[in-house]
Structure 1
Amino acid sequence: MATKQEFVDFVIDQMEKAGEIKARKMFGEYGIYADGKFFGVICDNKLFIKPTNAGREFIGNVVEAPPYEGAKPSFLIEDKLEDREWLSELVRVTVKELPMPKPKKKKK
């Protein structure tokens, strides 16, 4: 089942206090970025966040699942999507722990 644009818009709106949040279509689903850092995906109308120590500590009772077949498990966020403050803080602590993206090489 493909993700609906309305769900993507809702999730992005819920995270607005975490920085500049963008979603990019990837392989029929969506990658999500905060201030240029890739931190999660939206697949099948579900939100998956990259696992980090800070994120695990913040969430507490973590539910992990792969966003798609063959993927590494990520934090599956289902019951807190309505909580803007909580979701924005999770994104902030996660992104803070992730490395900056490597600069893209220029094509010759």
Structure 2
Amino acid sequence: MATSAEYAAFVCEQIAPYGQVRSRKMFGEYMVYLEDKPVLLVCDNTVYVKKLPQVSDLLLTAPCGFPYEGAKEHYILDIENRELLDQLMPTLKASVSLPKKKK
């Protein structure tokens, strides 16, 4: 089941207060960018965060799952938890680097 465009837009609305947001559709799923940094995966209408050391304390009790077959395990994010987003999004923005430019 692919992610709906409406759900991807909802996720973008939720993190819009933290900076410039955009999403990109890839294989029926979405990558969400904050300040051009890839911070969230949205697969099957579920939001995933890469397991980074910088966010492990914040997401210690979050459930985990695999966004797609062959992927590494990610945290599953409750995108409606504003208190968590207030801590998580600035941390992700500071921790994730910009994608490298293709030659």
Q: TM-score, normalised by structure 1?
A: 0.84
SS of match in other structure, 1:72: coil
Shift in CA distance, 50/95, structure 1 to aligned 2, threshold 3 Å = farther
Matches within 5 A, 1:14-93: 14-77=14-77, 80-93=78-91
- Alignment check: 8 A CA contact 2:58 2:84 kept: no
- Find the counterpart in structure 2 of residue 100 from structure 1: 98
> For residue 17 of structure 1, what is the amino acid of its counterpart?
P
In 2, the alpha carbon distance for the partners of 1:22 and 1:33 equals: 5
The 1:4/1:101 distance shift into structure 2, 3 A limit, reads same
Contact 2:32 2:39 in 1 (8 A): yes
Alignment length, in residue pairs?
A: 103
Distance of 2:50 and 2:86 partners within structure 1: 14
Equivalent residue letter for 1:46: T
CA RMSD of aligned residues (A): 1.6
4+ residue runs over 4 A deviation: none
Q: Gaps spanning 5+ residues in structure 2: where?
A: none
Question: Percent sequence identity over matched residues?
Answer: 35
Distance 1:89 1:17 in 2: 12
Q: TM-score, normalised by structure 2?
A: 0.87
Higher relative contact order (CA 8 A, sep 6+): 1
Q: Secondary structure of the equivalent of 2:72?
A: coil
Q: Cα offset for 1:83?
A: 2.5
Alpha carbons 1:37, 1:101 under 8 Å: kept: yes
